[in-house]
Structure formats: structure tokens, C-alpha cells
Amino acid sequence: MSAQAAAGKRPAMAQDPQRPEARTPRGFVDRRARDVVAERQILTAVSGVYERWGFEPLETGAFEYADALGKFLPDADRPNEGVFALQDDDEQWMALRYDLTAPLARFAAQNWETLPKPFRRYAYGPVWRNEKPGPGRFREFVQCDADTVGSARPEADAEIIAMAVQGLEAAGLPAGSAVIKINNRKLLNGLMAAAGVTDEAQKLGVLRAVDKLDRLGADGVRLLLGEGRLDESGAFTKGAGLSAQSAERVLAFTAAGVGGRAETLAKLAEVVGGSAEGDEGLAELAAIDAALSALGVGPDRALFDPAVVRGLEYYTGAVFEAELLLSTTDEKGQKVTFGSIGGGGRYDDLVARFTGERTPATGFSFGVSRLAAALRAAGRDAARKGPWAVRGPVVVIAFDQARMADYFALAGEIRAAGVPAEVYLGSSGMKAQMKYADRRLSPAAVILGEDEIAAGTVTVKDLDLGRELASKVTDNAEWREQRPGQQTIARAELIPALRRILDAG
Amino acid sequence: MSAQAAAGKRPAMAQDPQRPEARTPRGFVDRRARDVVAERQILTAVSGVYERWGFEPLETGAFEYADALGKFLPDADRPNEGVFALQDDDEQWMALRYDLTAPLARFAAQNWETLPKPFRRYAYGPVWRNEKPGPGRFREFVQCDADTVGSARPEADAEIIAMAVQGLEAAGLPAGSAVIKINNRKLLNGLMAAAGVTDEAQKLGVLRAVDKLDRLGADGVRLLLGEGRLDESGAFTKGAGLSAQSAERVLAFTAAGVGGRAETLAKLAEVVGGSAEGDEGLAELAAIDAALSALGVGPDRALFDPAVVRGLEYYTGAVFEAELLLSTTDEKGQKVTFGSIGGGGRYDDLVARFTGERTPATGFSFGVSRLAAALRAAGRDAARKGPWAVRGPVVVIAFDQARMADYFALAGEIRAAGVPAEVYLGSSGMKAQMKYADRRLSPAAVILGEDEIAAGTVTVKDLDLGRELASKVTDNAEWREQRPGQQTIARAELIPALRRILDAG
């Protein structure tokens, strides 16, 4: 919107065309108390879990040198493909991190000699993507990651998975509302070998076809594995060109993810067993299964799903995806599922980009804002409860300018009891002050007039009760008479009275 | 450092000159557990205080449009004076925020119609400055701010000051280790009027002279107020050109900050009373004094100091500076004071930049990393205590590959009791595992061998005690005999034993 267009809304702006328009950059948002609080509660809960598992917090800077980010190398004069990049005074290109894995790989490579090994760390913070913003698509969002660097054991993957399960539950997801689906890149390679696929482009075609299983079903994927598929719009997608037999093999592979973990493993062994990589993948999944069982994580919370083909760029072994089973209904009454909330896997080559030495690593990442949004949509908004400031403070009404010191002292007393409180500091009268308290969702307003001061009392207005009663009282005269929710009590009774109101709220 | 230079340190790098060097961009740092934990504890404590005062959390994005940041306007092709700026796809210049005040002004202007007024918010997060990095000078650091927008009352300033005092104490600063020094821009203007200074350049000269009071003393400042000063190196600094009488007036003004707040006010009235702005400033400080007293903040924690000339660019009334009185000694045994940890003041014109309507506002900001560093240097490092992960987890030794499931189950038991624990997942033997636990500052290692499993016992090694005893035992044979801090106990005794070790640590 131009300054001219904005001027229509706010007459003052027309006076000075030089005045900047107050607006957030595209794809960036301001977050008020409710969102901030919901995210903080998730991060506090998840941090607590990760620390109990022996993971230490690490914070890296917002910028990395562009060459260290890996995905992205400065071959153009001003590269900005997917990241926010700029050139430093010394001509080096820096870019804002687009995830927390690349900075960890850089950190691990830089400090490998002095780190305890395996190195377990968790991290959270904003990441930035220079993409086209859209509804629900932001260019800045918060991720939370946990990774183990320096352990090649499948048990390290299992630990990450079990910890993710516990972390998501601690964040507010009830048991059974999320599931981690596990696959192994080596199985996919074994499958390719078994299906006779050696060409990289054909491999990619197979993976893309498998990735569409949710949307197209087995019949659609069968076409994409073979010659190709004509969609409803009449557009033709060229297929991967597998033989009918190979295509069935791939479909059998993707269909193996039902039943328990052992059952899936047995089915998978029939399809990909025998190839060296397939057997390796199967052995790793068997070890993951054993560790998960020892950690008390059953197939209701973590299962093997060969159809997961997540993030194939740098994963080298196990891959996992956390899927939310929570759902909500949209405005049209349609059921809406949330789908993937995060994922991860084993990436044994990322640190080697710097050091040249293979360093096994595995980790899990989830989208914090996305989880918060899902929890809210599912009616499990943590911010409604707890001591946080979504609920406003008790408001001490500024009744008489000469008595400000009394109001400050009273607000101090209330705060000293641990109850949020403030003195109204605007310049409006009684009615506007009450309206202000109401808008802030204050539990109560406190009035200290001359009468109260003389009598050693205080008047408390229970705003929750007032709101409730207001909806029942229809007659204006009756309303004035009742002064719903208002009581004058001894000063010593104030804190207990406020606590009662807060407990009831 | 070039890739070639780095190659000398790490032979592997020489193999592939294309390999990026693992390094942080200049002026950016990685923060490990101890720093992260210390900062989080400060932020949690301060947030709790600010919320009790009725301030709600707000988070804005990292980027603002360059014109909204104010300090900075894109008149060059690629402006980057002091900020990290880049041009968006639609040609608009965006810049990373350099503080939290400019984004608040933009937010308040953008949402003014719908905000409860006065609008009280606090915020914390990284800010970025594109400056030359140096020792202790970073290009990214965390600030924590609280502001009230929409109240012109001096009580709003007093509230911010009292809350800052409480916040800093909650963060770990003992009472008496910090003081807030308060001044008022209007007094400075009144002083200028009284001293006959009307020229802006001369005004700036006076303020610069006053700002050097700490360093040069009254005699030095007297020279700078007059004709000028020759320093030890022989360099001459031109003075502000005041008459001797006017210079004495300014010095009397700056010297008025001793004694209680009322005493200072009385002295200041003698110097600047009578000028319209001076009287206004005095009245505001008197109201601040009254409110601070009502809030129980004495002159030991907040005093009037006319020598404070902080941030004159946009402040319009009260200004304050928080000074740490903590000190430490450097390597040479010299006393080192920390000085300013933050500050703030009233800025009634910032929101008007957008709206054209004057909107009174006041706030306080402090440097979180700086406070954490000061607390640590003063030996008050919060991260040493508390449940955080600076202390490592209990390490379950991976003794026998066939027993991994038992180790996982045991670690799960320990975690379920709320004690951080992990199974060693590297590939090294017993000795290296113990060394690993020691490096992580683990309180204990737990050994579950065949003997223990058969007998229903577990062996616990108290690593704290082990470290202590190791420093006393001199004989190697004696050491082997004693196995310091190691005991084999019934499995049911494990959690109580670990708790005892943790409580003693």
C-alpha cells in the first residue's frame, strides 16, 4: 500500500508525504502476547525434556558465511536464491541461516577437537527464507532442533526419535496425537537396486512418484512409476519408466508400513533384502526398533513407513517425519489435518563438507510456530492457562490525581503478592479506565477513593463476574442498582479477594 | 583467515581447496550452554517482573523497512551505514533492526486504533549493528526493553525506572550493586537558556563537554566549556566558547547530583529555575521523585544526576541510565568497573514520525549479554546453580553392546525421576567414557555390568567426589584400591543415591 493509499485511512498522513508508512515487511509478522506465550511454553517444555536427555543448549549467530551454508554458493554478483544474503565490508557474502542444521555442522567442524564426543546439542531460534510469502507462509519462523554429532549408532537415531516423542508430548500434544514415521535412505537405495534403477534421474522420478502416494493413491503412483500419468486437467506427467514388475516392487515396498515395526521389517526384507545397502538399512531399523522398545516407545508413537522420502538432499541413513494426527474443522465444516510438524534424519556428510572427515550425525527439527498454531486450532492452546500475561493485570483506577502515590503503593502491594498489577496511567476518566481494564482482560479493577482511604477499605470490581452478570442483566436501572461483581472490603482482605477472583477465572 | 591459512591447522583441508573454512562471520559468536543458560535466566526473571507490572510481551520480526527504522534512509544505491540492509524483490530496502524501540514505534503507529491505551509492552531479542567488530564489540547482541506508549505522565517514567530496578535485582544484581541515574532533557534545555546558549552547535559542544565529566573532572570540563583544552598528547580540543560565568553555571548544574533527590532538585532549581522549560523539567522530576518514593525506590537505587546526557537524538524529556556499581579485578589486579548496562527515557516524537500525531512514550533498555558478562565477572554467575544443563547429565556407561536395551531402560528410569541422564553412544571404551562424563561435568556415571544385572544392583561412581579424592590420593596403588566415590547398591537405591550426589554438588 502506498503512502497515498494509507493517507485515506489516517488523515494525518496526508499532511506530509515524506512520512513513512508503518507496515511490516512482506512475509514478516508481529506477534502479540498470546502467540509469544504459546511459543515460549512450547520451548520451555521441550528444552526441559531435551536437557533431561543430556542435550546442551547452543546458540549460533543469525549470519553464516554463504559458503558455510552449503545449499548456496555465491556464483552470481548478488546471490539471493532462497536466502537473505548481503556482502560484508571485506567482500565476503554472508547470509541469514535458513535452518539450524547448517550452523551446527559449521560449529561442529570448527570446534571438533575440543568438543565432548558424541556432541549432543539442542537449539531454537528464528530462521529466514527469502521466498515468496503467502497465506501461512512466512519468511521468518522459529525452529527447534536436537542433534547428536559423532555417533554412527542407530541407537542415536532412536534416542532422537524417542526424545522428539517426549518433547512434543511435553509441549502439549496429547499421547496419540502425533506419530513419528521412520524410514531409511539405504532401504530406498536397496529398493532402487532391486528394481534395477541405476540412473540418477530415474531414481529421482521414482522418489517423486512415491512422495505423491498420499495424494494420488497406489493407482496414480503406479502410472507415475511407469510411462506417466494424465491428470484431470489433461496435463501429462512423464513417468519414471519402470517395468510393470519393478513398479509393483516399489508399490509393495511403500505398502509395507502397516502393522507393528517388526511386521514392517519382515515385509521390507522380502522386497529389499539381499542388496548390501538394503540389508544395512534393515539392520539399522532393527536396532532402532530395539532401542525404541527399550525406551518404551511403541508403534502407536513411532512406526516404520517406507513411503517417507523426506529431504533427500543430505540424508544418508534413517529419516523421520513427525505427523500430527490432530485435526480441526474449517469454516465450511470440513475436517482439516495438520500433517507434518517436523522431521529429521541422519546426515553423515555435512560436517565433512568442512573437514573432509566423515562425521556421523543425526537430528530432529520441528516448526515451533506451526506446532503452536496446530495446538490452538485443536483447542489445546496452552496460553489460556498459567501465570502468563495473556490475562491482563489488576488495574488500580487513577481516581484522584492527588492520590497517585497511594495508588502506586497499592499496586506495589499487589505485585509483592505475586499478582500482576498496574496503576492506570492514561488521562481518561473512570468509564474509559474500566473499558481499558476490560480490553486487557484484567481479572479485577481496584478503586481507592477518599471514602475507602478514610475507612481503611478498598473497592474491588470482579471484571470476570461483571462480564458474566452483564450478559444476564437486561434492565439498565437494575444494573446500576446491583453494580455486579463489586464489593467494598477491608484493605487486609484485598489480596485474598484477588486470589479468589483469579482462581475462579 | 584464508582457506590456505586454515589448511595449516587442519591437514585434511589441504586435500580440497574448494572446501569452505568453518568460521563465524566477523563480530558474531557462538554461545555454549553456560552463556545461553545465564542469559535465559536473566530473561526469565526480568520477564516475570515486567509481567507483574502489567507489561505484555511483543515480538516483531528481524527486518523492518529501512524508512521505518528512521535513523537510516536509503539515499545511496546500497545503503548500509550502521545497519545490515538489503533490497527486497520489489526494490524496497529492508534492514535488520538495530534496537527494539524503532520496531515498537512502527508497531504502535500501525496498530494504534486497536491497542489498549496506554500500551505497555516488553520485548527481548537480538539486534544487529553493522559496525566494525572488536574485542567485546559484537555485531549481534540481545537487548531487553520495556516501554509505555500513550502516557505523558511523569509517573510512567517513574514506573519504568522502578520496574527496571526490580528487574535488574531479579536478574541477579544484589541491591546496591546498580543505580539508575535520572536527568531530564528539559533541564538541559533550561540550562542552555540560562547560560545564554541558543546556537545548536554550541549546545552540542556544551553537552559533549559535560559528557566528559567522569573522565576529565570539573577542571577539564571547565576548559572545554570555555576556550578549549590541551590534552597530555598536546592535541587541542576547541571549547564551546562559554563565558566564565556561564561555564560555572553549567558546572554547578552538573555538580547538583549529590545528596537525596529532593536536595538535588532544590539545587537544580537555583540554576535552571525560571526558564519555562527548566521549570517544566523540574516539575516532572518532582513527580518522578514522588512516584518513586511511593513505589519504595530510595535514592540508593535511583537518583537525579544532571550530568547524564544520554541519547540526545530522540529523547524529549526524562532520560535515565543504569550504572553497575559491581566491579572486578583484571589480570593485573586493577579494579574494573562495568559502567552503564542500559538506559532509556522519554521519546514523545518517535510514533509521530509515522502518524503525524504526537504520542508520548517512555522506556528502558538493557544489554542482556553485557549484564550476564558483568554478573559472571563479579562472581555472581547464575548458571552455576539451578536445574540447567551446564552441569552434564548422569552418564550410563555402554559396557556391553548386547545390553544396550538395559542401558536405555535405566537412563529412562533416571530421567523419569527428573534427573538428566544419557547412555554413552560413542564407540570408545570404558576409560574414554569416564573421561567423556568428566568433561561434561556429569555428577555421576552409572555402570550396569553382568554382575550387577544378575544381582539386581547397579554401580554408581560419584564423579564430584572422585574429582575431589583424586586430588588427595597420591599413590597409584592406593587409588586402585579405593576406587574413590564408587559404590555398588541395590537398583531401588539408585535414584536416592543420585539425588544425594546432586544435592552435595
pLDDT digits (tens, 9 = 90+) for A158-193: 999 999 999 999 999 888 889 999 999 999 888 888
| Co-location of A454 and A314 in the same domain | no
Taking only the tens place, the pLDDT of each residue in A291-311 is 999 999 999 999 999 989 875
Restricting to A residues 105-134, those with a Cβ less than 8 Å away from any Cβ of B are 106-107, 109-111, 116-118, 120, 126, 128
Nearest-Cα residue of chain B relative to residue A128: B62
Q: How far is B487 from chain A (nearest CA, A)?
A: 23
What residues have CB less than 8 Å from A33, skipping those under 6 apart? A383, A388, A389, A390, B56, B57, B58
Say if A16 falls within a structural domain.
no
Contact check, Cβ <8 Å, A36/B58: yes
Q: How far is B227 from chain A (nearest CA, A)?
A: 40
Query: Which band of pLDDT confidence, cut at 50, 70 and 90, is reported for residue B212?
Result: confident
pLDDT over 90 at B180, yes or no? yes
Question: Nine-digit cell at A153?
Answer: 549408532
pLDDT over 90 at B294, yes or no? yes
- The answer to which of A447-451, A475-479, B364-368 has the lowest mean pLDDT is A475-479
Q: Compare CB distances from A354 to B20, B29, B436 and report the shortest one's residue.
A: B20
Contact check, Cβ <8 Å, A354/B16: no
Residue A196 has what pLDDT?
Answer: 85
DSSP per position, A386-412: SSSTTS--EEE----GGGHHHHHHHHH
| Co-location of A184 and A215 in the same domain | no
pLDDT over 70 at B302, yes or no? yes
Average pLDDT rounded to a whole number, residues B31-59: 95
Taking only the tens place, the pLDDT of each residue in A313-335 is 688 999 999 999 888 777 888 88
Residue B115 has what pLDDT?
Answer: 94
| Co-location of A250 and A131 in the same domain | yes
The answer to whether the peptide bond before residue A135 is cis (omega within 30 degrees of 0) is no
Residue of B56, B413, B415 to mutate when probing chain A, most A C-beta within 10 A: B56
Q: How far is B383 from chain A (nearest CA, A)?
A: 12
pLDDT over 60 at B278, yes or no? yes
| Co-location of A474 and A339 in the same domain | no
Restricting to A residues 23-62, those with a Cβ less than 8 Å away from any Cβ of B are 23-26, 28-33, 35-37, 40, 51-62
Query: Which band of pLDDT confidence, cut at 50, 70 and 90, is reported for residue B227?
Result: very high
Strands (E), A277-414: 302-304, 318-329, 335-346, 361-367, 394-396
Is B310 a known ligand-binding residue? yes
Residue B11 has what pLDDT?
Answer: 38
Average pLDDT rounded to a whole number, residues B305-331: 85
B159 contacts B364 by C-beta, under 8 angstroms = no
Nearest-Cα residue of chain B relative to residue A73: B20
Domain that holds residue A442: 394-504
pLDDT over 80 at B5, yes or no? no
Total count of domains within chain B: 3
Restricting to B residues 61-90, those with a Cβ less than 8 Å away from any Cβ of A are 61-65, 67-68, 70, 80, 84-86, 88, 90
Residue keyed to cell 534496537: B99
Residue A14 has what pLDDT?
Answer: 41
- The answer to which of A225-229, A444-448, B330-334 has the lowest mean pLDDT is B330-334
The 10 Å Cβ neighbour count of residue A384 is 14
Taking only the tens place, the pLDDT of each residue in A217-231 is 999 999 999 999 998
pLDDT over 50 at A8, yes or no? no
Does the CB of A429 have a partner CB in chain B at under 8 Å? no
Restricting to A residues 363-402, those with a Cβ less than 8 Å away from any Cβ of B are 387-390, 392-393, 395
pLDDT over 80 at A350, yes or no? yes
| Co-location of B259 and B360 in the same domain | yes
| Co-location of B102 and B115 in the same domain | yes
- What's the CATH number where A469 sits? 3.40.50.800
Contact check, Cβ <8 Å, B140/A62: yes
Where does a domain end: A175, A207, A241?
A241
Average pLDDT rounded to a whole number, residues A67-71: 78
Residue B259 has what pLDDT?
Answer: 83
Please give the C-alpha separations between residue B260 and each of A81, B214, B264, in angstroms, as whole numbers. Answer: 60, 20, 6
The 10 Å Cβ neighbour count of residue B2 is 7
- What's the CATH number where B141 sits? 3.30.930.10
pLDDT over 90 at B39, yes or no? yes
| Co-location of A401 and A329 in the same domain | no
Contact check, Cβ <8 Å, A415/B53: yes
Nearest-Cα residue of chain B relative to residue A406: B294
Is B315 a known ligand-binding residue? yes
Residue A242 has what pLDDT?
Answer: 92
Give chain B positions within 8 Å (CB) of A150: 426
- Nearest Cα neighbor of B185 from B343, B401, B25, B14 is B343
Give chain B positions within 8 Å (CB) of A59: 30-31, 35-36
Residue keyed to cell 541477579: B172
| Co-location of B115 and B193 in the same domain | yes
pLDDT over 90 at A378, yes or no? no
What residues have CB less than 8 Å from B491, skipping those under 6 apart? B456, B457, B458
Report the alpha-carbon distance of residue A290 to residue A256 in Å, rounded. Answer: 19
Mean of pLDDT over chain B: 87
Query: Which band of pLDDT confidence, cut at 50, 70 and 90, is reported for residue B314?
Result: confident
Contact check, Cβ <8 Å, A355/B12: yes
Taking only the tens place, the pLDDT of each residue in A19-40 is 999 999 999 999 999 899 999 9
Higher pLDDT, B112 or A272: B112
Say if B296 falls within a structural domain.
yes
Give chain B positions within 8 Å (CB) of A291: 404-405, 408
| Co-location of B14 and B49 in the same domain | no
| Co-location of B253 and B272 in the same domain | yes
Contacts 24+ apart (CB under 8 A), B474-479: none
Say if A83 falls within a structural domain.
no
Residue A208 has what pLDDT?
Answer: 86
Say if B78 falls within a structural domain.
no
- The answer to which of A94-108, B205-219, B383-397 has the lowest mean pLDDT is B383-397
pLDDT over 80 at A478, yes or no? no
Query: Which band of pLDDT confidence, cut at 50, 70 and 90, is reported for residue B386?
Result: very low
Average pLDDT rounded to a whole number, residues A376-382: 72
| Co-location of A52 and A184 in the same domain | yes
Residue B388 has what pLDDT?
Answer: 39
Query: Which band of pLDDT confidence, cut at 50, 70 and 90, is reported for residue A15?
Result: very low
Residue A75 has what pLDDT?
Answer: 40
- Nearest Cα neighbor of B221 from B235, B194, B240, B236 is B240
Contact check, Cβ <8 Å, A55/B31: no
Average pLDDT rounded to a whole number, residues B18-40: 93
Say if A91 falls within a structural domain.
no
Residue of B15, B26, B32, B52 to mutate when probing chain A, most A C-beta within 10 A: B52
pLDDT over 90 at A453, yes or no? yes
Say if A145 falls within a structural domain.
yes
Say if B232 falls within a structural domain.
no
Contact check, Cβ <8 Å, B408/A109: no
pLDDT over 60 at B479, yes or no? no
- Sequence length of chain B is 505
pLDDT over 70 at B12, yes or no? no
Contact check, Cβ <8 Å, B412/A58: no
For residue B421, the cross-strand partners are B394
Say if A23 falls within a structural domain.
no
| Co-location of A292 and A426 in the same domain | no
Residue B290 has what pLDDT?
Answer: 95
Residue A465 has what pLDDT?
Answer: 80
